[in-house]
């Protein structure tokens, strides 16, 4: 539309005076031309930037061949898939015919229908234990073969200040939210490399961009997942020479799960439903695309490049969001 307006103005018959062609005198007419020109240039730069971003996320590959994915023949592993976002992701994958293996310490949700349950297998697993993850992986491979999709979703939160957080709660949270990603990838990536096919997705959080009082441990692990995602992507491209394996990281905003139940009233208008988050995540899998999914304010990642005074002002507005008295200790609760 902008391009059309700009071309129309440039191609206007020379016999037209500006006041006849537009209700403007000569100087405003020239100003309008300049405004349209620079607006068009800005839009063009934005489009080029979007194209380059998409190309980079596709590992600089010219094509994105989705023909190798046959969804009714694929197997996905979803950690923390018994409840919350994880369970919604499982349901969404099953709706595409994908078989799913859930790794979780909690029993599988009863919300799954019979036709869904036929495609879902459950393996009780303490994801903070390397040995437990290996045993579950061995059983899974024996039952179904190796998965082509990994969704590292399990996570918990502790609503504690740094001084009040016990070593046990800290170790459990870091083990589940962060270290378990290493365990899962170490178990299943080698077969993906051999087949030159796979998709690994990590569920982070908008907290990765903004540390908040009483959530330092949670925010630290979610920020660390960004480094994990970037490192994994680089290793797949440059160490293993398998850019075909997709990697994605998801940054959900406030989502209505058991993890955030105490904040539901405070943020009811901004809470996302788990099914909506799950749909976006699975659409990324089905599209066979790599990349980052920002499911909240698009400017959140730019907080870190703001002037320091503005960064601190933004953090100050979030200082009292997480109440210190709400301590979550159950392992396997979705992020």
318-330 pLDDT per residue, tens: 888 887 754 444 3
Helix (H) or strand (E) holding 284: helix 274-286
User: Which one of the listed residues 6, 123, 218, 251 is annotated catalytic?
Assistant: 218
In a domain, 133, yes or no: yes
Chain CA centroid to CA 261, Å: 21
Instruction: Identify whether 29 is a catalytic site residue.
Output: no
Cα distance between residue 9 and residue 214, in whole Å: 58
Which residues are 202's β-sheet partners?
A: 152, 249
With CA atoms as reference, report the closest residue to 119 among 139, 95, 103.
Answer: 95
Is there a domain that residue 4 lies in? no
In which element (H, E) is residue 312 found? helix 308-317
Domain with 232 in it: 71-318
pLDDT for 263: 53
Q: What long-range pairs does 61-68 form, CB within 8 A, spacing at least 24?
A: 61/243, 61/244, 64/288, 64/289, 65/288, 66/287, 66/288, 68/197
State how far the Cα of 184 lies from the Cα of 286, in Å rounded to an integer: 21
| 326 occurs within a structural domain | no
57 found inside a domain: no
Residue 56 counted as domain residue: no
Active site residue 222: yes
Residues of the chain with pLDDT > 70: what percent? Answer: 82
Question: Structurally, how many domains does the chain consist of?
Answer: 1
- Nearest CA among 213, 180, 193 for reference residue 77: 180
Q: Is residue 9 part of a domain?
A: no
CATH number at residue 99: 3.40.50.720
In a domain, 23, yes or no: no
Percent of the chain whose predicted confidence (pLDDT) is above 90: 59
The whole-angstrom separation of Cα 98 and Cα 291 is 21
Least confident of 34-38, 198-202, 244-248: 34-38
From the candidates 91, 99, 197, 222, give the one annotated as an active-site residue.
Answer: 222
What average pLDDT is seen over the chain? 85
Q: What's the rounded Cα separation, in Å, for the pair 229 and 248?
A: 7
* 22 belongs to a structural domain: no
């Amino acid at each position: 539309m902008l391009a059309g307006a700009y071309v129309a103005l440039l191609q206007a018959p020379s016999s037209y005076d500006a006041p006849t062609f537009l209700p403007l005198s000569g100087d405003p007419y020239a100003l309008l031309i300049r405004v349209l020109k620079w607006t068009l240039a800005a839009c063009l730069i934005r489009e080029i930037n979007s194209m380059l971003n998409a190309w980079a996320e596709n590992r600089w590959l010219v094509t994105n061949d989705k023909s190798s994915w046959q969804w009714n023949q694929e197997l996905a592993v979803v950690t923390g898939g018994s409840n919350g976002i994880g369970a919604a992701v499982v349901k969404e994958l099953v709706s595409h015919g994908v078989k799913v293996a859930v790794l979780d310490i909690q029993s599988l949700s009863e919300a799954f229908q019979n036709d869904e349950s036929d495609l879902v297998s459950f393996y009780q697993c303490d994801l903070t234990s390397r040995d437990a993850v290996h045993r579950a992986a061995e059983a899974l491979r024996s039952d179904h073969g190796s998965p082509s999709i990994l969704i590292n979703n399990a996570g918990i939160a502790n609503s504690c200040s740094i001084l009040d957080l016990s070593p046990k709660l800290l170790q459990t949270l870091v083990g589940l939210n962060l270290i378990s990603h290493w365990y899962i990838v170490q178990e299943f990536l080698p077969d993906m490399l051999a087949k030159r096919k796979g998709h690994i997705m990590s569920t982070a959080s908008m907290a990765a961009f903004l540390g908040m009082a009483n959530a330092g441990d949670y925010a630290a692990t979610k920020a660390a997942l960004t480094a994990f995602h970037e490192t994994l992507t680089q290793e797949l491209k440059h160490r293993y020479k398998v850019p075909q394996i997709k990697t994605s990281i998801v940054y959900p905003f406030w989502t209505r799960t058991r993890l955030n139940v105490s904040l539901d009233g405070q943020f009811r208008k901004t809470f996302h439903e788990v099914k909506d988050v799950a749909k976006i995540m699975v659409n990324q899998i089905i599209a066979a695309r790599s990349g980052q999914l920002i499911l909240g304010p698009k400017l959140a990642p730019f907080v870190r490049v703001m002037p320091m005074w503005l960064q601190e002002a933004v953090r100050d507005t979030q200082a009292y969001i997480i109440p210190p008295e709400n301590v979550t200790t159950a392992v396997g609760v979705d992020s």
